[in-house]
């Protein structure tokens, strides 16, 4: 594999004081169609108890994946869903969504999950919002010796098998999977049909082509034209694979809004302030 860039996750907080690790790129768009990855990982509920009270989005997609614990999602469309271990959720926000994400009261053993932001093409930014989630048992796991690939979104080829995740049709033809490698195990994937490829190492260590060890909490931006050849360290490795096709459009971002021009951002703010994006039905929060 050919590494183009290593992006360390940065500690920050969002929502009502939720501690997260973040990789974001709204300027150079080196991750296009991906814009941001947030990882929440803690066994101390004080790090996430405040959750994410009601807030708006426009012009982007959110993809949430829970590995431990869970959140309850509520939105102005009337969706009320518990997103638990092994489940994913996709919101293509289009012209606007108002939602909240709060820790589940019965998830007391800590939390580990991700929210990934994807850009939307300009032609789709003002379409009606779409929502979809999955059950944990809907996600296939493709396995070979020492490696297990959990399909989260998009279409995949691995270990001689072609399969699709329960969520498809994401912006930029995005394909997302969670790969687990046993200690010192190897795996190879072919993703040259997609123009963008990145890995986020969330657990263990990965051995790089130069022999160095990469620790968890780093994202690798890779050249997708080269085969993805992975080698875990002695602790094994867990990593999210993010692939897709760049959208290639200018991005202007302000808080939860991702549009193409500053004028569109200002309009999004006005629409939200005027209540045009809707609100979560009373009694829902």
C-alpha distances in Å from residue 83, one per residue of 80, 95, 100, 122, 180: 10, 24, 12, 29, 21
The answer to whether 163 and 151 have CB atoms below 8 angstroms apart is yes
57 is in an annotated binding site: yes
Tokens of 160: 């001689």
Where residue 136 falls among pLDDT bands split at 50, 70, 90? low
Whether 73 has a binding-site annotation, put simply, is no
pLDDT digits (tens, 9 = 90+) for 14-40: 999 999 999 999 999 999 999 999 999
165 has a pLDDT exceeding 50: yes
239-270 b/e (C-beta count within 10 Å ≥ 16 → b): bbbbbbbbbeeebbbeebbbbbeeebbebbee
Task: Give the rounded percent of residues in the chain with a pLDDT score beyond 70.
Answer: 98
User: Model confidence over 53-85: pLDDT tens digits?
Assistant: 999 999 999 999 999 999 999 999 999 999 999
Does the annotation place 202 within a ligand binding site? Answer: no
Helix H, strand E, coil C: the string for 78-106 is CCEEEEECCCEEEEECCCCEEEEEEECCC
Tell if the pTM clears 0.85, that is, is over it.
yes
- Asked if residues 89 and 64 have their Cβ atoms less than 8 Å apart, the reply is yes
What's the mean pLDDT when you consider all of the chain? Answer: 94
The vertex-219 CA angle with 180 and 255, nearest 5°, equals 120
Banded pLDDT at 283 (limits 50, 70, 90): low
pLDDT in tens, 197-215: 999 999 999 999 998 999 9
Q: What is the CA radius of gyration of the chain?
A: 18
- The CA-atom distances, in angstroms, between 27 and each of 31, 50, 268 are 10, 29, 20
Q: Is 112 annotated as a binding residue?
A: no
Query: Domains, the chain, ranges and CATH?
Result: 3-244 (2.60.120.10)
Report d(CA 94, CA 108) in Å as an integer.
34
């Amino acid at each position: 594999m050919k590494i183009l860039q290593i992006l360390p996750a940065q500690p920050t907080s969002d929502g009502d004081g939720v501690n997260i690790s973040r990789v974001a790129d709204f300027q150079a768009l080196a991750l296009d169609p991906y814009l941001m990855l947030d990882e929440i990982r803690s066994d101390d509920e004080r790090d996430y108890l405040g959750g994410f009270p009601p807030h708006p989005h426009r012009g982007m997609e959110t993809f949430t994946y829970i590995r431990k614990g869970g959140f309850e999602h509520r939105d102005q469309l009337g969706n009320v869903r518990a997103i638990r271990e092994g489940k994913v959720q996709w919101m293509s926000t289009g012209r606007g969504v108002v939602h909240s994400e709060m820790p589940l009261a019965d998830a007391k053993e800590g939390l580990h999950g991700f929210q990934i932001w994807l850009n939307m093409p300009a032609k789709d930014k003002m379409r009606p919002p779409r929502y979809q989630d999955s059950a944990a048992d809907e996600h296939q796991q493709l396995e070979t010796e020492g490696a297990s690939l959990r399909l989260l979104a998009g279409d995949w080829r691995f270990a001689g098998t072609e399969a699709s995740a329960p969520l498809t049709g994401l912006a930029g033809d995005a394909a997302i999977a969670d790969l687990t490698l046993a200690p010192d195990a190897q795996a190879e994937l072919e993703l040259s049909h997609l123009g963008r490829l990145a890995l986020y190492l969330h657990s263990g260590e990965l051995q790089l082509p130069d022999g160095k060890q990469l620790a968890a909490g780093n994202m690798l931006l890779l050249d997708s034209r080269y085969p993805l050849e992975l080698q875990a360290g002695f602790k094994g490795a867990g990593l999210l694979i993010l692939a897709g096709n760049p959208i290639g459009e200018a991005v202007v971002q302000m808080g939860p809004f991702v549009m193409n021009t500053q004028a569109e951002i200002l309009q999004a703010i006005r629409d939200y302030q005027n209540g045009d994006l809707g609100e979560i039905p009373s009694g829902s929060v």
